[in-house]
Amino acid sequence: MKQQERIINTYYSDVMQKSYIDYAMSVIVSRALPDVRDGLKPVQRRTLYDMHELGIHYDGAYRKSARIVGDTMGKYHPHGDSSIYDALVVMSQDFKKGLALVDGHGNFGNIEGDGAAAMRYTEARLTKIAEEDLLADLDKDVVDFIPNFDETEKEPSVLPAKFSNLLVNGSEGIAVGMATNIPPHNLGEVVDATKAYIKNNNITDEGLMKYIKGPDFPTGGIITNKDELPEIYKSGVGKVKIRGKVEVEDAKGGHKLIVITEIPYTMIGAGIAKFLTDVAALQETRKTTDIVDISNQSSKEGIRIVIELKKDADVENFKNLLYKKTRLEDTFGVNMLAIADGRPETLSLKQAIKYNVDFVFETNRRKFTTLLRKEKEKKEVQEGLIKACNVIDLIIEILRGSRDRAQAKACLVEGKTDGIKFKARESKIMAEMLHFTERQADAILELRLYRLIGLEIEALQKQYEQTTANIYRYEDLLDNKDSMAAEIVRELDDIKKQFSRKRRTEIDNVEEAVVVEKPIEEMEMVFLMDRFGYCRVIDVPTFERNREAAETENEWIVPCVNTGRLCVFSDKGNLHSFRVMDLPYGKFRDKGQPIDNISGFDSKDEAVVAVMNRDEIVSKKLIFVSTQSMIKLVDGSEFDVAKRTVAATKLNDGDKLIAVSVLGEGTYLAMGSKKGFLLKIAAGEIPEKKKAAVGVRGMKLGAGDELEAAFFGNASEEKHIVEFHDRHIDLHSLKEAGRDGKGSRIK
């Protein structure tokens, strides 16, 4: 009978909400966040387990990364090869991890941001600590195994980590609506803190910080806010301030070298190149004039970035400038978020250690339970073999007289002698008294004759004694928490002895860097911008020597001072202002920078109408002219604003600004239209408006006509020749007319 369909009516919003929550939880738990117990994300755990299954041991041969990635993707992690290989690469980079879990062979990237080679070129194997302290004892039922994505394989739900890998290696990840950012710590300190917690479960976060001083970044550096660390470790969130380590060396000629030997952890990758660019920018923008040369001399031996300074440079002030203006001092945002008991939780330092310790106790309980069971089974067999050796002649007689294995086993286990041929009646009576267990009987039937040699029997007796001692030890560990704790501490001490290293990151309270800026000497400059929008400033003597070339090659030439600001008016009615100091300063033939890079100007959508000194216009009035012949006067004080971009005037739809000029005594305006009409009016005809106003009509335009030019002149001049419609016209010969006239047509 066909099952009847059942239609469920529900709101679309409810379906979307449930689906998104399910998706978010999947990303949070199954992909992005680490588990507090082993400190690994699923992709990392699966990659390490696959390497373990492939037998890629730390003391064996390397295997192609592509093989590892392909096997992991096919068996456990069907989310694409790039995520698996990226995880493999990061676990091999000792400059990112406190302890590398993968031993990479080949190009696995570097601290300066160069990526790893393709997976077909590189090889990898497990490191010793990963194999012995993360993947050991998986065959002893220490963790639960779960089905993989297609239920064809089994994978561990967590790896049996013997130490807090979450703290030692840290973690970073972005989930849906949350993120984790846990700094790496020193293994020796984490082990000592773990031992302290095992001895005293009531220890506080502050108490644990006697052992864990703070983060220990692989790149070294100096943590400068020591007093804030207790609150960060108590809440699980906060900002760790870290500086690079700077040394001062003497160079030839009395110059000083600023040598950076350690960088903040946040500068790993492209941050080093960005730092070099930022240092160069300090010189270009004249925030300092002390730099002679910059070079990156870093190598496999370590970081070495060298900045050569002038003889008379203030070294301490320059160091502070680096801290303030570059990422040589940066913050690491701590957010100790991890999966605990199946849900995301922000952990304090104590909680992170507690969850790991509880997990280690649980894995050890399961481990020794399994070992105890196996030892008891071994003891049972050994007791049977010892007992069998004492009556070996009888057993041989039973075996020779039995028809098959089943008959012999029945005699050994239950004393059944029916059908068995004995040489003597006494042998049958003794056989009926036998009572071996099933396991003992199987071991006796599989016993090899060489085991009856005297020395072998003695060895069997010693093995039995060792098994008995093991059983006693395992029962003590399982029944006595103090014994189990001592066993865990012993393992931790062994880990510390093998793998710990000295702390790399210093921790201190350091005062905030203060930069004493030298007073800038005011200097007259000349702003140049060519028709392509590239601009720069040069000093006045350089301009005077190259005046002719400058006037020929540049569209805008504006005198200015290095401490001032310039304003660019665009045809869209916008005003873009910027500091003269932000402009590149150099030789006359230097190319300069696009105006777009220095201000909010957009060369793809705007055209320059005028460039002026802001200090000169704020105390004067400006004349605005648009293509629709809208004109007005605006008080320059309205443009004394801090914003980089503001609206300089309001324009009607389809209108564009074509001219802006400073109003002077005796100024007149001549407007020229596309159809050849020219109208000259006195500046007094132009009303003053606010910058947000459209203005008034300056010239009456015919249908389809618009202004294409605006000429500003002064009545005191003898001549004012302009080119209009291929004619040279002296504007002084034109009579002034009233505003809103049609003007005269130029023939």
Length of the chain: 747
**Helix 315-325 × helix 271-284 angle, to 10°:** 120
Q: Which tokens hold the place of 296? A: 């990156």
What are the phi and psi torsion angles at 128 (to 5°)?
A: -65, -40
Give the DSSP H/E element, type plus range, for residue 103.
Answer: strand 102-105
Pairing mode, strands 222-223 and 506-507: parallel
Closest among 564, 568, 624 to 596, alpha carbons compared: 568
Type of residue found at 257? L
Pairwise CA distance, residues 568 & 529, whole Å: 11
Give the DSSP H/E element, type plus range, for residue 440.
Answer: helix 438-445
Pairwise CA distance, residues 368 & 267, whole Å: 45
188 neighbors 501 (Cβ within 8 angstroms)? yes
Q: Which of 20, 23, 121, 472 is catalytic?
A: 121
89: left (phi over 0), alpha (psi -120 to 50) or beta: alpha
Pairwise CA distance, residues 119 & 642, whole Å: 52
**Helix 349-390 × helix 481-499 angle, to 10°:** 110
Is 121 labeled as catalytic in the residue annotation?
Answer: yes
For 353-391, b where at least 16 C-beta lie within 10 A, e where not — what string? bbbbbebbeebbebbbbbbbeebeebbbbbbbbebbbee
Pairwise CA distance, residues 626 & 628, whole Å: 5
Query: Which residues lie below 8 Å from residue 690, measured CB to CB, with a gap of 6+?
Result: 634, 638
Type of residue found at 726? D
Closest among 218, 220, 309 to 256, alpha carbons compared: 309
Closest among 25, 102, 34 to 356, alpha carbons compared: 34
Pairwise CA distance, residues 465 & 133, whole Å: 30
What are the phi and psi torsion angles at 135 (to 5°)?
A: -115, 0
The radius of gyration of the chain from alpha carbons, rounded to an integer in Å, stands at 42
599 neighbors 593 (Cβ within 8 angstroms)? no
* Residue 704: exposure state from Cβ atoms within 10 A (0-12, 13-18, ≥19): exposed
What are the phi and psi torsion angles at 151 (to 5°)?
A: 60, 30
Q: Please give the DSSP secondary-structure letter assigned to residue 212.
A: -
Q: Please give the DSSP secondary-structure letter assigned to residue 520.
A: P
Written in H, E and C, the secondary structure of 475-533 is HHHHHCHHHHHHHHHHHHHHHHHHHCCCCCCEECECCCCCCCCCCCCCCEEEEEECCCC
Pairwise CA distance, residues 505 & 245, whole Å: 10
If DSSP codes are grouped into helix, strand and coil, which group holds residue 674? Answer: coil
Query: Which residues lie below 8 Å from residue 684, measured CB to CB, with a gap of 6+?
Result: none
Q: Which residues pair with 335 in a beta bridge?
A: 181, 237
Sequence-ordered strand ranges (E) for 524-599: 524-529, 534-539, 556-561, 565-570, 574-579, 593-594
For 557-596, b where at least 16 C-beta lie within 10 A, e where not — what string? ebebebebbbbbbbbbbbbbbbbbbbbbbeebeeebbebe
Give the DSSP H/E element, type plus range, for residue 704.
Answer: none
Pairing mode, strands 677-682 and 744-745: antiparallel
Type of residue found at 62? Y
Q: Which residues are catalytic?
A: 121
